[in-house]
């Protein structure tokens, strides 16, 4: 049996590390370009940026699928067979080989077209959303769908095409499993939503508690304060502004999140910041010595989303959090929030109010937004729904699931960036993340019952520490399944 230490000296292993490092550098470089595209890039920078991202994607794909990479992985798989499965060496070879098997199935031409098309579509989506004109976005979305179908067919699938794309985010899960889980959740949720909505009085009572004028600069200072408090390290990251909040990482020392502000509502930016902070804390908690390898990532998208939902919903919508944050918010917005107490805030941010926008949805109705997207993208990919019919299908599904009809596409089918990005199969992970967040939080509370009181004091270290030890430090060396099983 080879010792892990001995394998580190193996020239093949070293060559693998170096080759994976170059691939990782190109991925990080592309992430910088994509971040800039969403934050600071001037409008006419888009066409050249799309070409640059396509070139980086093509080179990355070429280097990762080079025959030499396959040879090295094959040889090293033998040499790591007897190593502990959770050692860095065995995990690295296993995970790299899994990604490699998928990557070699995508022809370089398709990888490049994909990157170029999605970058372009993202730009057009921003314009279409701003101008509320689905027609501007439709041809780009149609191309994305066509390419996603082609991609799925190259990746191969058994039961249905959507499986091949879902695998990217939730390895080992099938579309049918997701569908079944969603149907059983939906049955429970719809009853719950109806029951809560019938108690209309308490909702209305707290509804106006958080109304006011909240200047953008003050909101920005408040979100930075909260980020600092929960443990985000600004020496190793930053927060910017973008139309659709996201988190990205260029390395252990550079993790960035974005947010957006509405001056009539500060809880949106605050909770969105906590959501992205969950992703960002995960990225900042990955083992820095794994940088430049495919282990320097979250275990799965669902696990990543468990972290964001944890901080947004289980922390950010708790009574204890509002005992901590309300005094800060009062200082940030002098004259506002004077007569409000933490209990009213707690009730206001937990009000169940079916709405049009996923990212503003309450915990209860949020998953209904996911079910809708999952079903529509599944239909698009199976070819049972045409892009031109999508707005109507969207609006009909909204009406049936949430009892609301979007007055325009900006508040309907154009609200999310995902399909522009080409992220088909991504939405289910949000709901999976909701479920995992509760599982992980319950376990953390069992081991550390003082967490809520610490949160009320602004001490987030016990909760973050638990997540660091049980989730973050494993990077992608465990699958989501293994990770959750070990943690709970």
**Smallest separation (angstroms) from a second copy to the CB of 217:** 11
Contact status: 252 vs a second copy (CB under 8 A): yes
- Exactly one of 4, 12, 17, 55 binds a second copy (CB under 8 A); which one? 55
- Exactly one of 7, 16, 20, 26 binds a second copy (CB under 8 A); which one? 26
**Smallest separation (angstroms) from a second copy to the CB of 242:** 13
**Smallest separation (angstroms) from a second copy to the CB of 42:** 5
Site residues for a second copy, 281-300, by CB under 8 A, read 291-292
**Smallest separation (angstroms) from a second copy to the CB of 292:** 7
155 vs 286 by CB, closer to a second copy = 286
**Smallest separation (angstroms) from a second copy to the CB of 51:** 6
Site residues for a second copy, 204-243, by CB under 8 A, read 234-238, 240
Contact status: 254 vs a second copy (CB under 8 A): yes
208 vs 253 by CB, closer to a second copy = 253
Q: Is 131 a catalytic residue?
A: no
**Smallest separation (angstroms) from a second copy to the CB of 461:** 20
Site residues for a second copy, 33-52, by CB under 8 A, read 33, 36, 40-49, 51-52
Catalytic choice (276, 297, 305, 336): 276
23 vs 387 by CB, closer to a second copy = 23
By CB under 8 A, the count of residues binding a second copy is: 38
Rounded distance between C-alpha atoms, residue 323 and residue 453, angstroms: 10
39 vs 132 by CB, closer to a second copy = 39
Stretch that binds a second copy, among 25-33, 86-94, 122-130, 144-152 (CB under 8 A): 25-33
Contact status: 251 vs a second copy (CB under 8 A): yes
Contact residues for 138 (Cβ-Cβ < 8 A; gap 6+):
387, 388, 390
Phi, psi torsion values for 309, nearest 5 degrees: -70, -35
Contact status: 15 vs a second copy (CB under 8 A): no
**Smallest separation (angstroms) from a second copy to the CB of 255:** 8
21 vs 383 by CB, closer to a second copy = 21
The residues of the shown chain that bind a second copy, judged by CB under 8 A, are 21-22, 25-26, 28-30, 32-33, 36, 40-49, 51-52, 55-56, 59, 234-238, 240, 250-254, 291-292
Which active-site residues does the annotation give? 276
């Amino acid at each position: 049996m080879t010792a892990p230490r001995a394998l580190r000296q193996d020239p093949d292993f070293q060559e693998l590390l170096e080759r994976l490092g170059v691939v990782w550098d190109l991925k990080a470089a592309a992430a910088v370009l994509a971040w800039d595209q969403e934050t600071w890039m001037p409008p006419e920078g888009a066409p050249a940026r799309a070409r640059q991202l396509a070139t980086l994607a093509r080179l990355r794909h070429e280097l990762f699928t080079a025959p030499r990479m396959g040879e090295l992985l094959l040889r090293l798989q033998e040499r790591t067979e007897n190593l502990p499965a959770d050692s860095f060496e065995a995990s690295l070879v296993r995970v790299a080989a899994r990604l490699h098997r998928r990557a070699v199935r995508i022809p370089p031409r398709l990888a490049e077209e994909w990157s170029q098309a999605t970058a372009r579509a993202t730009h057009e989506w921003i314009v279409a959303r701003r101008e509320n004109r689905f027609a501007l976005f439709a041809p780009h979305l149609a191309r994305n769908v066509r390419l996603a179908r082609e991609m799925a067919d190259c990746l191969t699938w058994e039961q249905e095409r959507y499986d091949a794309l879902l695998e990217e985010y939730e390895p080992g899960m099938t579309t049918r499993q997701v569908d079944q889980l969603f149907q059983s959740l939906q049955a429970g949720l719809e009853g719950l939503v109806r029951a809560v909505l019938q108690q209309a009085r308490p909702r209305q009572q707290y509804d106006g508690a958080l109304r006011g004028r909240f200047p953008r600069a003050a909101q920005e200072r408040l979100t930075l304060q909260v980020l600092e408090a929960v443990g985000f390290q600004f020496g190793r990251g930053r927060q910017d502004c973008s139309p659709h909040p996201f988190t990205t990482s260029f390395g252990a020392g550079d993790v960035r999140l974005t947010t957006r502000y509405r001056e009539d509502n500060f809880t949106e930016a605050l909770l969105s910041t906590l959501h992205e902070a969950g992703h960002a804390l995960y990225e900042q908690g990955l083992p820095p010595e794994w940088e430049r390898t495919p282990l320097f990532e979250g275990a799965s998208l669902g696990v990543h989303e468990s972290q964001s939902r944890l901080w947004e919903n289980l922390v950010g919508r708790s009574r204890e959090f509002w005992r901590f944050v309300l005094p800060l918010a009062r200082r940030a917005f002098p004259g506002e929030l004077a007569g409000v107490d933490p209990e009213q805030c707690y009730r206001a941010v937990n009000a169940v109010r079916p709405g049009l926008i996923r990212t503003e949805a309450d915990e209860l109705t949020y998953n209904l937004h996911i079910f809708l997207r999952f079903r529509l993208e599944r239909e698009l990919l199976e070819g049972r729904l045409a892009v031109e019919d999508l707005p109507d299908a969207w609006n009909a599904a909204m009406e049936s699931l949430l009892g609301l009809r979007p007055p325009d596409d900006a508040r309907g089918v154009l609200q999310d960036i995902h399909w522009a990005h080409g992220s088909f199969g991504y939405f289910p992970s949000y709901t999976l993340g909701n479920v995992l967040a509760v599982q992980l939080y319950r376990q953390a509370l069992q081991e550390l019952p003082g967490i809520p009181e610490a949160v009320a004091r602004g001490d987030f270290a016990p909760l973050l520490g638990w997540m660091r030890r049980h989730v973050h430090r494993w990077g992608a060396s465990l699958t989501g399944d293994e990770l959750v099983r070990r943690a709970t």
